[in-house]
Amino acid sequence: MAIAVNGKADLHTHTTASDGTQPPAANVRLAKEAGLAAIAITDHDTMAGVEEAIAEGERIGITVVPGVELSTVAEGRDIHILGYYTDWRAALWQERLAGLRSTRDQRNDMIVERLVQLGVSITMDEVIHAAAMEGAGDDKGKGGGPDRAAGKTIGRPHIAAVLLNKGVVSSMKEAFDLYLAEGAAAYVNPPRLHPFEAIEWIKEAGGTSVIAHPGLYGDDELVETIIQRGIEGIEAYHSDHDTEAEARYVAMAERHGLLVTGGSDYHGERQGKVFHGAIGSRTVDADVLQQLDKRARA
């Protein structure tokens, strides 16, 4: 498929393939409605939503960028590494993504266990149910509902949703602040992929690596270390970056000769509120796609 070079691209969105609330095709339609030339699907540790998105993109005429957001940990900190245009059907790459997902499941079990120890009445079944119910109304007759949970990624937002439904907390934010955020009471972080490894995996899968939302780590020294290890781009534009952070990371990218990317980090809506940002609320010029797609350059 031809790559869009004119117009705007939102290079960071989540779908029901991970912890977003909208199916992949819906993200693509929202991007079209927002007047974008391209949209990336970047679910956590899975590319299961990419095929559906590409098909919808071809149908309605918008470029879909195959992507993924890898969960990694460095110095006890959650670091997200975006991978674009990996050969997403390659067996080794798929195997590696599956490994990351099983670590994530293990982590969910540990968080639920910790919550129970803290006196909160919650079970993993309730979390799985919360994930399954989400977005179930969006694609009736297409495997929506509980069945869909089998292939989707369950994460902290689903645990937060259960806490909210049970009245343990009064908002998603409170669920994170009190229990789920880094350093909060039920936060656990089992051994996981290091960002340096993620960079290598993405390279080996033929893709381009980008450090996601560096402003959220509060540690530019660590960001610089990751740059030294071969990251190819910086997500300077993100819903949780202010203009000062945007300028700082654009400058950092320039200093190191790296690509500048950006995106909304759209996760759909929860309780009528857009999580992170709406599709198209953060964009970059679509001509960056030519740099992200190594095969197009070859």
Task: Verify binding: residue 265, Zn ion, rule CB under 5 A.
Answer: yes
- Least CB distance to Zn ion at residue 282 (A): 12
Residue pair 292/298 in contact (Cβ under 8 Å)? The answer is no
By CB under 5 A, which span of 16-24, 31-39, 83-91, 264-272 interacts with Zn ion? 264-272
- Least CB distance to Zn ion at residue 212 (A): 5
Task: Verify binding: residue 212, Zn ion, rule CB under 5 A.
Answer: yes
By CB under 5 A, which span of 53-61, 72-80, 146-154, 169-177 interacts with Zn ion? 72-80
Q: Which residue is nearest to Zn ion (CB)?
A: 80
Sequence-ordered list of residues with C-beta below 8 angstroms from that of 184, at least 6 positions apart, any chain? 176, 177, 178
Q: CA nearest 82: which of 254, 234, 206?
A: 234
Helix (H, G, I), strand (E, B) or coil at 104: helix
Q: CA nearest 70: which of 192, 191, 163?
A: 192
Q: Residue 99, Cβ neighbours under 10 Å: how many? A: 12
Task: Verify binding: residue 80, Zn ion, rule CB under 5 A.
Answer: yes
Cα angle 211, 19, 177; round to 5:
80
- Least CB distance to Zn ion at residue 275 (A): 10
By CB under 5 A, which span of 149-157, 178-186, 212-220, 222-230 interacts with Zn ion? 212-220
Q: Closer to Zn ion by CB, 147 or 240: give it.
A: 240
Question: Which residues of this chain interact with Zn ion, rule CB under 5 A?
Answer: 69, 80, 212, 265
